[in-house]
Amino acid sequence: MLSKYTNQKIRRLSVFLKLLAVISGKCIETTDLKKTNKQKKAPEEISKAFIYRIKKRLFAFFSFLFLFFR
Please indicate, yes or no, if residue 55 is contained in any of the structural domains: yes
Greater confidence, 40 or 17?
17
What are the backbone dihedrals phi and psi of residue 41, each rounded to the nearest 5 degrees, phi first?
-75, 165
Residue 24 confidence (pLDDT) above 70? no
Please indicate, yes or no, if residue 24 is contained in any of the structural domains: no
Length of the chain: 70
pTM score, two decimals?
A: 0.37
Model confidence over 3-22: pLDDT tens digits?
777 777 777 777 777 777 77
Please indicate, yes or no, if residue 48 is contained in any of the structural domains: yes
Residue 55 confidence (pLDDT) above 80? yes
CA dist 42 and 39 (Å) reads 9
Greater confidence, 35 or 60?
60
pLDDT of residue 30: 47
The total domain count for the chain is: 1
Please indicate, yes or no, if residue 28 is contained in any of the structural domains: no
Other Cβ atoms less than 10 A from the Cβ of 19: the count is 19
Please indicate, yes or no, if residue 53 is contained in any of the structural domains: yes
Please indicate, yes or no, if residue 60 is contained in any of the structural domains: yes
Domain containing 65 equals: 43-70
